[in-house]
Structure 1
Amino acid sequence: MEVILGAGPLSKAVMRELLNKGKRVRVVNSSGKANVPAEVEVVQADLMSASGARAALQGANNVFQCAQPPYHRWEGLFQQLMGHITEAASYHQANLVMGDNLYMYGDVSGPIHEGLPYEADTRKGKVRAEIAQGLLDLHRKGTVKVAIGRGADFYGPYVNNSYVGARFFASVAAGKACSLLGDLDAPHTFTYIDDFGRALVTLSEHEDAFGQAWHVPHAETVSTRQFAELAYEAAGHSPRIGTMGRGMLRLGGLFIPAAREVIEMLYQFEKPFDVDCSKFIRRFGEKAGPTPLRTALKETIAWHREQATVKV
């Protein structure tokens, strides 16, 4: 049994890949409800409790950790969540594959690779660093087998709360104007959610992937402006790209906690943010590489248009 924690976009990407491989899949979330195929078992569990986590992971071979507390409540809650998950994975002798981001490195100059130290000075970066280091320490101690896959800002089916999530692609698909943060001409790596999901499954299938962190494959890094222009091209519309400054984000943060939390992470959008995924490609080969950027954008536009039709 392959167990996926959470029912968000990354969880669904992992699920799709596992189903393609004919695996039995269980999705675990707090409601016990999820928009998934009928053959997928959906289980309600409180992962913030030790007993809830143990019950949810029973019978698991691989556990894909794609769940997280609300973005503005990471401190304390995320560590508690991971403590229960790792204890349950150890109890059931299940492998743990962590879907991670890149916050722990902090404000990096130059390509972002797995050998960098964890030097984040942001609150959320420190949380991610603590969790990642704790997971790798548990692996070294033999408590639980852990592999970590890290992606950049992601986009694709079911992606809502992302820099280039539903709001961005809904505007692009309809030929409307979009607003983006930071220096639009600085290079910025984006991760297609299906590539992220496939990569986590790949890690689960290889013994030598455990005990390490891996940057998952992504298409070529382009500027944010180029990414947006290619998205409009995929949608068959002329680009209508605007900018949103820190002031607007701070104003939004007065009413939306998640918007307020984005402010400390703005350094990622105000200078080059170039993620190196060559380690993954060297180990797993070009066949494990990313979806071409234009293809991924067309698939994302098509999915958003389909959702708009369903809503109507």
Structure 2
Amino acid sequence: MSFYVVVGAGPVGRETARLLGEEGHDVVLTSRSVGSNALQNVRTVQADATDAAELSRIGRNADAIFMCAMATYHRWPTDFFPIIDGTVRAAETVGAKLVVLGNLYGYGQNADSPLRSDLSLDPTSRKGTVRTIMWQRAVRADVPAIEVRSSDYLGHGAISYFSLLALPSIIEEKPTPFIGDLDATHAWTFTKDVAKTLVAASRYTGEWDRAFHVPSQHASPRELIHKTAAMLRRNIVDTRSYSIPEMEALGMHELIEMSYLFESPLLVDFSDAETLLGVKASSLETMIADTLRDHL
């Protein structure tokens, strides 16, 4: 039995803790607002990841620390750095391996497609720069580090462009808006597959200080909208894409800089995670059904 600390109690952090606990490991799930817990072998501890001393106390003798915490989207440039710094210092203090939950933003708008996990990071957005600096801080740590990078989330409780923009309109059978090219193929990542990849990465026996991509499914936003509507037995009234002026008028400033992700195909190569970690992507139908768990 091993001891693990999972920092962040969102959908991915909680699922990661659940998987580890059900394997019989001792797990601490920590967050500033960790909430109630009924997970096997998982203890919840309210703590702030920016407090390295407290996190070190919680994580004493931990085999690995999973950094799954999330900052408020518009506050990434101010809030994420203290979180990653506190987590890294705690991992160094207790000698634990570090497994970081990341995303694809750091590759930037000019990256070759499909995105490979060994591509150099070349961010073209503020959020991509934040993610890049976070990984640079982790990979410079005095402990081994791996980053698990995901695309846009599907899954119960996940906050994503799809859940915020399209899903409410699908449910209410209203005209369904989204961003970018509705017919451009896009990678969608299941929160439960993210957790599986994090757990598998923590046991990787090869060389660390590298990244893995979460195995995902590729579908256009239009295809995802129609599959979701069919599962809900809803009619699609209309679909359209917001223009940049509309997004500006609606105050969607945080989405504008990342809209390039949906303006052309976003393809992800996750073959190394399949081969080296043994993780496979769930079906798109499984992802959608879990996303709609409260509505079916």
State the TM-score, normalized to the length of structure 2.
0.90
* Aligned partner of 2:129 among 126, 150, 153: 126
* Aligned partner of 1:50 among 52, 72, 84: 52
| Aligned 8 A contact 1:203 1:210 in 2 | no
- Higher helix proportion: 1
* Aligned partner of 1:69 among 68, 71, 90: 71
Shift of residue 202, structure 1, vs aligned partner: 0.8
Instruction: State the distance in 1 between where 2:145 and 2:215 align.
Output: 19
Shift of residue 51, structure 1, vs aligned partner: 2.1
Counterparts of 1:176-191 in structure 2 under 5 Å? 176-191=174-189
* Residues 265-294 of structure 1 deviation map (CA, whole Å, 9 limit, x = unaligned): 111011111111111112234xx2011112
Instruction: State the distance in 2 between where 1:117 and 1:38 align.
Output: 38
* Aligned partner of 2:19 among 17, 20, 31: 17
Instruction: State the distance in 2 between where 1:163 and 1:300 align.
Output: 13
- Letter in structure 1 aligned against 2:187: T
Instruction: State the distance in 2 between where 1:227 and 1:62 align.
Output: 36
Q: Which residue of 2 aligns with 1:94?
A: 96
- Letter in structure 1 aligned against 2:114: P
Percent of matched pairs sharing the same residue? 29
Q: Which residue of 2 aligns with 1:115?
A: 118
Q: Which residue of 1 aligns with 2:170?
A: 172
Q: Which runs of 5+ in 2 are unaligned?
A: none
Matched, 1:223 2:220: yes
* Aligned partner of 2:260 among 267, 272, 295: 267
Instruction: State the distance in 1 between where 2:242 and 2:28 align.
Output: 40
* Aligned partner of 1:284 among 252, 264, 277: 277
* Residues 161-188 of structure 1 deviation map (CA, whole Å, 9 limit, x = unaligned): 3112266434434544432111101111
User: Alignment partner of 2:206: what SS?
Assistant: helix
- Letter in structure 1 aligned against 2:55: A
Shift of residue 76, structure 1, vs aligned partner: 4.3
Shift of residue 54, structure 1, vs aligned partner: 1.9
Change (3 A) 1:13 1:173: farther
Instruction: State the distance in 2 between where 1:171 and 1:14 align.
Output: 31
Give the superposed CA RMSD. 2.0
| Aligned 8 A contact 2:118 2:211 in 1 | no
Instruction: State the distance in 1 between where 2:172 and 2:78 align.
Output: 40
Q: Which runs of 5+ in 1 are unaligned?
A: 254-258, 307-312
Shift of residue 109, structure 1, vs aligned partner: 4.0
User: Alignment partner of 1:280: what SS?
Assistant: helix
Shift of residue 222, structure 1, vs aligned partner: 1.5
Moved more, 210-219 or 39-48: 39-48
Matched, 1:299 2:290: yes
* Residues 173-214 of structure 1 deviation map (CA, whole Å, 9 limit, x = unaligned): 454443211110111111011111111011112222632100
Shift of residue 75, structure 1, vs aligned partner: 1.9
| Aligned 8 A contact 1:147 1:209 in 2 | no
User: Alignment partner of 1:13: what SS?
Assistant: helix
Matched, 1:136 2:139: yes
Q: Which residue of 2 aligns with 1:256?
A: none
- Letter in structure 1 aligned against 2:54: G
Counterparts of 1:241-256 in structure 2 under 5 Å? 241-253=239-251
Q: How many pairs does the alignment contain?
A: 291
Instruction: State the distance in 2 between where 1:205 and 1:176 align.
Output: 46
User: Alignment partner of 1:135: what SS?
Assistant: helix
